[in-house]
Structure 1
Amino acid sequence: MEWVETSSGLVATFTTGSMVRGLEFVTRIVDAAEAANHHPDIDLRYAVVRLVLVSHDVGDQITDRDHALAREISGIASEMGIE
């Protein structure tokens, strides 16, 4: 999955195929975010999860923390077979 830098932050959309699979994915993302103490904006839809990563504490800039969590989230998606 490719993350795109936008004015809102690092953005990615993952196709999960179902709400249940999306929720499982989101749960794993939340676990990783809690461990990193860095939390994405998450939009869970029926078959899609959209994420935005940005560091609000430094003026809504994209930082190394965002890139690190993006890599971790992409790894979770890969492990789960999510595009």
Structure 2
Amino acid sequence: MAQLLTEAEIQESAKFLSGWTVEGSKLKITRTFKDFIQAIEFVNKLVEPAESAGHHPDLEISYNKVKIALTTHDAGGLTQADFDLAQAISQIN
């Protein structure tokens, strides 16, 4: 099982993620697109990095907005895997 990060490690790692917030035991971001089609195209781009990492985001789609939440469910909070996937997602346009 993945190792939970300490609060200090979480705050330090969060400094390197633009637009992401730490809310309880989750990393969150909302991405806004021109329309529904672009939002879905973005979601489809998340498949490869998530599958490669074996780590999957919680997603909520509402027309042109995609809300992403990351947490390591089996560890019960934030781990390095969450921050690694957040970095990968941040690189997707």
TM-score range, shorter chain: 0.7 to 0.9
CA offsets per residue over residues 22-76 of structure 1, 9 Å max, x none?
11100111221011100000011111100000000101x1111000100100100
Give every structure 1 segment of 4 or more consecutive aligned residues whose post-TM-superposition deviation is greater than 2 Å. Answer: none
Which of the pair is proportionally richer in helix?
Answer: 1
Asked if the contact 1:8/1:52 (under 8 Å) is kept, the reply is no
Instruction: Give secondary structure in 1 for the equivalent of 2:28.
Output: strand
- Report the Cα distance in structure 1 between the residues aligned to 2:79 and 2:64, rounded to whole angstroms: 29
Pair 1:44 & 2:44 matched: no
Report how many aligned residue pairs link the two structures: 76
> Which TM-score applies when normalising by structure 2?
0.77
Give aligned-pair identity as a percent. Answer: 38
* Cα-Cα RMSD: 1.0
Pair 1:57 & 2:59 matched: no
